[in-house]
Amino acid sequence: MAQLDEVLPQADYVVVAAPETQETAQLMSAARIARMKHGARLINVGRGSLLDEAALLRALESGALAGAALDVTERSRFHPIVLCGKRPTCFITPHTSAVSDRLWIRQADILVQLLERWFDGRELFNQVDFTRGY
């Protein structure tokens, strides 16, 4: 995070994969989208609130960004169709970026490990930290 503003003008692709917290709200603000390298592509697999959708729309329309891939969108005035419309350089998936042929195997493995730890009285992992918000 400390170097985000420095690397944005250099990156061909920017992948946003942060949790939704007070610190990450509008992480990709209008100012940061404007700092991105001309022709770069923005990928958001985190949360819709991390991205200024109005700024993204302007950057796509002006050609400043070459494309966007959104696995999530904010519940705002911009319906996904408005954001991407018929633009061949933008697409939206239904929050399924984690889905793969290994997803259920990984999830079942984590569940079994957590159950074993729970019953053995050992410390659990993957716990929600309510002070951090995720």
Q: What is the pLDDT of residues 32-86, one digit of tens each?
A: 999 999 999 999 999 989 999 889 989 999 999 999 999 888 866 666 666 677 7
Q: What is the mean pLDDT of the segment spanning 20-27?
A: 91
- Give the global pTM: 0.78
DSSP letter for each residue of 58-89: HHHHHTSEEEEEES---SSS--HHHHHTT-TT
> Between vectors from CA 87 to CA 84 and to CA 90, what angle results, nearest 5°?
55
* CATH of the domain spanning 4-99, picked from 3.40.50.720, 3.20.20.70, 3.60.20.10, 3.30.70.590: 3.40.50.720
Phi-psi region of 79 (alpha: psi -120 to 50; beta: other; left: phi over 0): beta
Q: DSSP assignment, residue 27? A: S
Domain boundaries, the chain: 4-99, 101-134
Give the per-residue pLDDT at 82.
66
Query: Quick one: what percent of the chain has pLDDT higher than 70?
Result: 93
Give the per-residue pLDDT at 81.
62
- Comparing 54 with 119, the larger pLDDT belongs to 119
